[in-house]
A and B are shown apart, each in its own frame.
Chain A
Amino acid sequence: MTRDEALARYRAMLLIRRFEERCAQIYVEGRIGGFLHLYIGQEAVAVGAMSLLRPDDYFVTSYRDHGYALARGTDPRPLMAELCGKVGGISRGKGGSMHFYDVPNGNFGGDGIVGGHLPVAAGMGYAIRLRGTEQVVLCFFGDGAVNEGAFHEALNVSALWGLPVVYIIENNRYGMGTSLDRASSVRDLYQRGSAYGMPRRDVDGMDLLTVREALGEAIDRARKEKQPTLVEVETYRYRGHSMSDPGKYRSKEEVEEMMRHDPILRFAKVLAERHQVEPADLEALDKDVIAQVADAVRFADQSPWPAPETLYEDVYVRSPYIHHKTADKDPAWRASVKDDRVPERFPERAPLAAPAKVEG
């Protein structure tokens, strides 16, 4: 890892942290509605994983999905606008927090149904096998998902058919408020891979380098050997399951203990020791990230509300195989378009008042 790469990864983790801290604030102000599940504490997983992907790879995620999009390099502005329900949102205000997608970047994103996207990941892997390309699929889900039937069905067919999918359990110890030992008959979740004859391992998810090493091996296996892997990443979410969760099922001491292993602080040490990054560099970088988040919030504020006419858009794809007379009488068909709506690419953000320097 070069110094620039290391700094970029640190910055990505910090961007997730600062972005979500700001989300929590504006949620309380009522500017974000519905559910808001924060990823804070788990940043090393998304950033480690995304740093290993090629541009044409795919990934699907659970609903705690902000981190993956940011780590993949999706502009935070349409993401913040999405959270605020604005038309400038990545999903035009129709998805919200749980439904971030960025198809040009391979992000088939947020699924609000626990475990529901695991068979979908297998299907993407099946498409890759049919086409004979070298792509891989990453599938992120929580420890709660391993008890769903979909987990079993997806892992079985993936191993059976040799699908290039890496299944990543982000074990943050709680499925909402139910601890793992009250939900799973085995503590070592990665061992469930043995039921499918699937390569498996567990890793410390609070350490970016360990995550990269483990996922790198699994991705290689998927790409070259067309074999799935089950990786259990042991991590921790500092915040509640969602904003409405006071977290009474775990002790303050436990949370504080885990925060001592904070992935961002740990990687800051690596930056200092191996890449001669000074504290001042990190401070400047933090300022830059905070400014980027402020810019995203500004963008969201300025983005208009979706017009009521957009309600019926995006239900169907306009198709010559649907009789036009019937299509024209149905509002959802009438509003359908032939092409996919590729997210708008936004111009580079305006230079900040005091450009932060982190290089050199």
Chain B
Amino acid sequence: MALITMREAINQAMREEMRRDPSVFLLGEEVGQYQGAYKITQGMVQEFGEWRVRDTPIAEEAIAGVAVGAAFVGMRPIAEMMTFNFSMLALDQIVNHAAKYRYMSGGQIRCPMVMRGPSGAAAQVAAQHSQAFESWFAHVPGLVVVMPSTPKDAKGLLKSSIRDDNPVIFMENEVLYNLKGEVPEEEFTIPLGLADVKRAGKDVTIVAWSRSVQYALQAAELLAKDGVEAEVVDPRTLRPLDEDLVFDSVRKTNRCVVVEEGWRYAGFGAEIADRVQRECFDSLDAPVIRVTAADVPMPYSKMLEKAYLPQPEKVVEAVHKVLYR
């Protein structure tokens, strides 16, 4: 095992896959000469050259569309979005092209691409640069949506995403880039569609992904002081969703809280709440409660930002509610 950051883990995954398979290439804004806006692609252009680590103009639809076209004819592009906030400009390529051409062609076309980059709230960058869009992508049949919360998961899941033959939306989190964790030194992958228990417990199930796992783990520590043992389940992949691990946990704890950085209205947590109430109805001792961002655009001020986001304290409060404490 090596103790590395999420940033290094993602860099390693891409480099290893590019060494392994000449059809893998990377493109995006500032990925080459600048070494990555968030330094994720550090050193890659030196190793692979400008055609395989392609600096692009600020043109998100072209970045996504070039990835889609190259994938249609057998390449395995990784399209970096400087942040997923800008993926809105590329949405037509993802939703109408990457996700649909296989279906519309009756199975003739495949689109083995990855779109990756940071998503979720950053620090004080206001409404247009601090958004969680996983619910948008998870809504679309034809896509795979991955949201890692640890360096190990990021590396193993990204390697699977690059090798997979479907379009994968791989959403990282800027705040987690410096998070350190143990990562195996030998070759490994983690299958897509496999959830993970990030903390075992018996009193309540907290479902959380990406940065929300941090909120959940911090809440679990606070709750432990009170004698409440929370189990934190991280789906890791939102589409397809490994619901069984969530159900198993809820059947054990009889209570469920879902934490997400996205907006409450039509957010992905509602999908989990829907499945849990349907499949675990007899086990539930309380309604499923969701802790989400506020249904407003992200404000700039530090104080308002804190009020907007899910916080460990808000998770603790939600757990108290499902425990009727």
Contact = CB atoms under 8 A, between A and B. Distances in A.
B96 to A, nearest CB: 5
B62 A120 contact: no
Nearest to A104: B108
B69 A326 contact: no
Interface stretch (B99-107, B205-213, B304-312): B99-107
Contacts of B74: 127
A103 B105 contact: yes
Nearest to A135: B73
A123 B72 contact: yes
A319 B191 CA distance: 10
Interface residues of B, number: 57
B110 interface: yes
Contacts of A149: 61
A118 interface: yes
A323 B192 contact: yes
A123 B25 CA distance: 12
A289 B148 CA distance: 58
B269 interface: no
Interface residues of A, number: 62
Contacts of A153: 57, 59, 61-62, 65
Interface string B77-111: 10000000000000011001100011111111110
Nearest to A127: B70
Interface in A95-112: 95, 99, 101-103, 108-109, 111-112
Given A321-B164, A326-B240, A129 B62 contact: no
Contacts of A161: 54
A102 B107 CA distance: 11
A72 to B, nearest CB: 14
A149 B89 CA distance: 10
Contact of B69 (A123, A160, A341): A123
A350 interface: no
Contacts of B242: 323, 325-326
B64 interface: yes
B106 A90 contact: yes
Interface of B: 25, 51-52, 54, 56-57, 59, 61-62, 64-75, 77, 92-93, 96-97, 101-110, 112, 141-142, 144, 160-161, 163-166, 189, 191-194, 237, 240-244
Given A116-B97, A119-B69, 4 more contacts: A91-B106, A120-B68, A123-B71, A322-B193
Please name the 4 residue pairs, one residue from A and one from B, whose CB atoms are nearest each other, closest first. A119-B65, A123-B69, A92-B106, A341-B107
